[in-house]
Amino acid sequence: MTYYSVLDVTPTAEGWIPGYLPTANERVAAHGGRYLAHTATHAQLEGEDQPAGLRIIIEWPSEEAARAFIADPAYAPHLAARTKGSVSRHYLIAGQDDLA
């Protein structure tokens, strides 16, 4: 089953970004992921304001692939740098319709 990572990322420091992007892009691809959106162009249409600098959507071939990416030792120091240098939320969403 397809899964999707949806991330809200607001950098609080920028020193981590140049080293983060090449590795994150490489590791996403290595785990079968594909960016559907990676942008600062977005608008919130409903709900309590949740500002974010970036919105990112990644399509994964499976839940296991998404979790393997997060646990990837080559990604770990970059994840730690992003976590320290931003306010981030990462949601993993199953590509299914539970209400159908």
Q: Which of 20-29, 47-56, 88-97 has the lowest mean pLDDT?
A: 47-56
- Amino acid 100: pLDDT: 87
Domain count, the chain: 1
Assigned domain for 20 exists: yes
- Amino acid 71: pLDDT: 98
- 41-87 per-position pLDDT tens digit: 988 899 998 888 999 999 999 999 999 999 999 999 999 999 999 99
Assigned domain for 99 exists: no
Assigned domain for 100 exists: no
Residue 32, domain extent:
3-42+52-94
Assigned domain for 78 exists: yes
The full DSSP string for the chain is --EEEEEEEEES-STTHHHHHHHHHHHHHHTT-EEEEEES-----SSS----SEEEEEEES-HHHHHHHHH-TTTHHHHHHHHHTEEEEEEEEES--TT-
CATH number, domain containing residue 64? 3.30.70.100
Assigned domain for 88 exists: yes
Assigned domain for 72 exists: yes
